[in-house]
């Protein structure tokens, strides 16, 4: 298994100057090569390989105006071209958008392969930097001297913090002990997640809690003169405010996903179209603040790492409007209605808990058909529930009172064939 250890780095002024030059050269190599790729495609309608991009970089270094590219290590520049080639591959495969130009005010990074660094006895030395780079190791149970990194990435945030990341190949961890517990998870805004057993996880609203201070820093930045030292200081304050929001959200998502994976053996979630949902201008900021896409990504790799199972159901299943007891489907249910009574069996439902129960039932039912519903990649992948819809009224598993386990399993594959 491949993992990474990300640590705070503390370069001295000489090292910071050398790394800043490396960042600038890597950024120039990326931007000029990207512009050349696009111009070549418009003129010749020809694609560009990595070998051609590398030859173009060599030609750039030979020009008089760009001879300063030779002052830094060539490894980060070559790695920037490799990342650009991979980015175009993802773009043509439909997994990402077209690569864009890099800005000097954003996050800066430089990646070194084994030929560009030396790591011995817990000390890191980078190419064309004479002294070892100081960093803080944050894993007391791992000896830094025993780590054998394959790549090292040095980065600097817009707020001025330095980081170094070690990519390491480690043995696969032992799977977690089985618990026998299953859970359907319904994601929302008021409560970040509601499980099928009635547990509600509060939404921390990381951005909303710091929105006033962030707006104040942005107003100060807008009043500063372009290119002034005060504007650079104001930009750093805005970046620090965003970093606190980002760190708070990431901490919450990691804690929540780790707790779910540790306590549940099977987790069922809904395939949410987050990119389409944020087009709602009234809810776009609140949805973006939740981080549903990152939460699903963390669940995917943590369940695969710890021997758990993640099931993703179809996004068009009406879980909130369907009674989890008798299967009755409401004709309409507004977002403001948080609880409702089933007109068929009289059961009172909490909207989110009922949706979580139905998500769990749908995931277990499709899993019983043998369909491959574990998708750890893009949300554009079609799940078996979406491919084979079934009548909502018939076959919804009945839940016992106070239990998240369905009393009986219903197979939608058999229902499509007219069997019961």
| 271 noted as active-site residue | no
What 8-state DSSP symbol labels residue 134? P
Summarize the chain as % helix, strand, coil (round to 5). Answer: 45, 15, 40
- The string of DSSP letters for 352-388 reads HHHHHHHHHHHHHHHHHTT------S-TTSPPHHHHS
Residue 188 structure tokens: 């929302």
Catalytic option among 186, 197, 265, 271:
186
Half-sphere CA count of 134, side-chain side, radius 13 A = 7
Residue among 408, 404, 411 at smallest CA distance from 390: 411
Residues 293 and 302: their CA atoms lie apart, in Å, by 14
Catalytic option among 111, 197, 265, 270:
270
Residues 278 and 345: their CA atoms lie apart, in Å, by 36
Residues 366 and 383: their CA atoms lie apart, in Å, by 9
What 8-state DSSP symbol labels residue 337? -
Residues 37 and 49: their CA atoms lie apart, in Å, by 10
Strands 108-112 and 151-156: antiparallel
| 352 noted as active-site residue | yes
Residue 197 structure tokens: 């057993």
Q: Backbone dihedral region of 131: left (phi > 0), alpha (psi from -120 to 50 degrees) or beta?
A: beta
Asked if residues 157 and 163 have their Cβ atoms less than 8 Å apart, the reply is: yes
The residue count of the chain comes to 420
Sequence-separated contacts (24+) of 232-236 with Cβ below 8 Å: 235/105, 235/158, 236/158, 236/159, 236/160
Catalytic residue list: 186, 270, 352
């Amino acid at each position: 298994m491949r993992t990474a250890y990300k640590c705070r780095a503390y370069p001295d002024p000489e090292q910071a100057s050398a790394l800043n030059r490396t960042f600038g050269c890597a950024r120039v190599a990326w931007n000029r090569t990207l512009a050349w790729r696009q111009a070549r495609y418009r003129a010749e309608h020809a694609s560009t390989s990595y070998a051609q991009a590398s030859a173009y970089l060599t030609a750039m270094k030979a020009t008089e105006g760009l001879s300063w590219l030779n002052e830094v290590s060539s490894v980060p520049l070559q790695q920037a071209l490799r990342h650009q080639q991979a980015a175009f591959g993802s773009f043509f495969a439909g997994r990402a958008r077209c690569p864009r130009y890099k800005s000097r005010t954003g996050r800066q990074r430089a990646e070194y392969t084994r030929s560009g660094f030396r790591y011995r006895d817990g000390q890191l030395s980078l190419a064309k930097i004479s002294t070892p780079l100081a960093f803080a190791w944050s894993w007391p149970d791992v000896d830094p001297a025993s780590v054998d990194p394959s790549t090292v990435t040095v980065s600097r945030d817009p707020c001025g913090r330095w980081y170094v990341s070690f990519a390491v190949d480690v043995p696969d961890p032992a799977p977690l002990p089985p618990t026998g517990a299953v859970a359907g998870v319904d994601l929302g805004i008021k409560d970040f997640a509601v499980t099928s057993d009635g547990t509600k996880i509060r939404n921390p609203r990381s951005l909303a809690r710091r929105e006033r201070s962030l707006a104040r820093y942005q107003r100060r930045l807008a009043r500063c003169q372009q290119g002034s030292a005060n504007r650079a200081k104001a930009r750093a304050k805005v970046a620090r405010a965003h970093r606190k929001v980002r760190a708070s959200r990431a901490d919450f998502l990691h804690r929540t996903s780790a707790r779910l994976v540790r306590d549940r053996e099977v987790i069922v979630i809904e395939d949410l179209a987050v990119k389409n949902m944020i087009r709602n201008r009234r809810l776009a900021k609140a949805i973006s603040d939740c981080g549903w896409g990152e939460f699903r990504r963390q669940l995917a790799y943590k369940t695969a790492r710890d021997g758990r199972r993640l099931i993703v159901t179809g996004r068009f299943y009406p879980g909130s409007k369907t009674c989890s007891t008798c299967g009755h489907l409401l004709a309409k249910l507004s977002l403001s209605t948080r609880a409702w009574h089933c007109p068929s069996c009289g059961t009172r439902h909490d909207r989110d808990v009922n949706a979580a129960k139905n998500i769990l039932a749908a995931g277990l039912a499709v899993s019983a058909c043998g369909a491959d519903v574990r998708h750890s990649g893009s949300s554009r992948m079609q799940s078996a529930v979406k491919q084979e819809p079934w009548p909502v009224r018939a076959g919804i598993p009945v839940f016992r009172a106070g239990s998240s386990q369905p009393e009986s399993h219903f197979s939608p594959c058999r229902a499509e064939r007219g069997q019961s």
